[in-house]
Amino acid sequence: MRKKLAASLSLAFALGLMSGCAHKPVTAPAPPVPAPLPPPQTSTESLPKLPTPTLPDVELSLPPAPHEATPEHRHYSHPLRRRHAAEAAPSAAAKPAPSGSSTGQEPTDSTPIGRLSTAPASANQRSYGSIVGEITSVQDGVQGIHRALSRSEQQTVTEIEMFLGKARNALDAGDLDGAHTLTVKARVLLNELSR
């Protein structure tokens, strides 16, 4: 008896699951179509006729633009040194300003750009020949390596060659300090490679 009851209950449950929901889904009604707008009325009679406005003649006078030469922007791989007020005063005192009567022109308030280095020229400036010698020495050191190089060592050689190329460009531009700095960087990398 229990078996019949269990079988009939499971059959009823299975039929209930198979039949699903008995309600019908409701679809939303379509939105109403808006009525077309009436065409605009073109009536020229209702608009008053306006006179055309006359603009006064305005003369625009601009002050003359100062004629300054645009400085050539150089990109350095090292930060520029700042000039301190105590070091800038002796260089300004050593260079007397030209008088207006001797040159035939009025003296200007701005002075042309002088040296960019903060140290005296003899102490800070290296000779062109010594920097070329340093570049050649580093180049010979790189070419003197006759062993197999790992990937990181090959990348270091590429960086050395890049620094030497930038140093040559700095020499061509007249930047002796920049060329020396780049050569020193290449020398440090060469020393690490030689270890």
pLDDT digits (tens, 9 = 90+) for 31-80: 887 777 777 666 556 667 778 878 777 777 777 766 655 556 555 565 55
Pairwise CA distance, residues 22 & 12, whole Å: 16
97's CB contacts (< 8 A; 6+ apart) are 107, 111
| Percent of the chain residues topping a pLDDT of 70 | 58
CA-CA distance, 178 to 185, in Å (whole number)? Answer: 11
The pLDDT of 155-162, averaged and rounded, is: 94
Share of residues in the chain with pLDDT > 90 (%): 26
Identify the residue with better confidence: 170 or 48: 170
Which conformational region is residue 62 in: left (phi greater than 0), alpha (psi within -120 to 50 degrees), or beta? beta
Say what angle helices 128-143 and 176-194 make with each other, to 10 degrees.
20
Q: Which of 174, 171, 145 is nearest to 157 (CA)?
A: 145
Does residue 152 surpass a pLDDT of 60? Answer: yes
Determine the pLDDT at residue 147: 87
**Alpha carbon distance 195, 189 (integer Å):** 10
Give the predicted TM-score (pTM) of the model: 0.38
Confidence of residue 164 (pLDDT cuts 50, 70, 90): very high
pLDDT at 98 > cutoff 90: no
* Torsions phi, psi for 156 (to 5 deg): -65, -40
Torsion of Cα atoms, 179 then 180 then 185 then 187, to 10°: 120
Report pLDDT for 27: 79
Residue 75 has a pLDDT of 58
* pLDDT score recorded for residue 71: 56
